[in-house]
Amino acid sequence: MIAAHTGMRRDEVLGLAWRDLDLDANRLSVRQAVITVEYQVTIADVKTGTARRTIDLDERTIDALRAWRLVREQEAALAGLKVSEDETVFAAPDGSLTHPDYFSQVFDRHLAASDLLRIRFHDLHHTHATILLKAGVHVKVVSERLGHSSPAFTMTVCQHVIPGMQADAARLFCEALYGAE
């Protein structure tokens, strides 16, 4: 849900720490990523300066994060632990970092058990952009949410959206000029 509702990449989702959430202000900050180096899991800085960003969240996502926090606190309590603000939101039950490959495998297994189309986890990043662009959200805003280097890069990556949007633009222009038919 977090990836679909924010456009965050897998490494960013896994790097999201509790301290990066401001649930009262309905936003999160992308500051770090979980990566693997020779199969060892570690925290790293995000890919670029524009990848370090703040993303506003909708109420459903806020509610899901609040509910997940309660689950994590219950898991930690069963192990005699406390959830730290430095812990990643999607940590393993013992609070350790979740391996990105394991995370993808779990995603794939859940997808295979559902009636949903088979997609890669990264496709959620592109789907987020596509839905926002088709809804008329300005490309600059979409680019910032995704952590892209520029709106031009976003448009290049999401060019598959353009044909339908071009037709809508032509229709809207005509309606603005001549009125609705």
Q: Where are the domains of the chain?
A: 1-118, 119-181
- Residue type at 42? T
Integer Cα distance of 41 and 11 in angstroms: 11
pLDDT in tens, the chain (181 residues): 999 999 999 999 999 999 999 999 999 999 999 999 988 999 999 877 778 999 999 999 999 999 999 999 999 999 899 999 999 999 998 899 999 999 999 999 999 999 988 999 999 998 899 889 888 898 999 999 999 888 888 887 776 655 677 777 788 888 898 988 7
Domain 1-118 bears CATH identifier 1.10.3210.10: no
Per the structure block, which two tokens stand in for 134?
């088709």
Q: Specify the DSSP element, H or E, that contains 55.
A: strand 53-56
∠ CA 50-125-15, rounded to 5°: 60
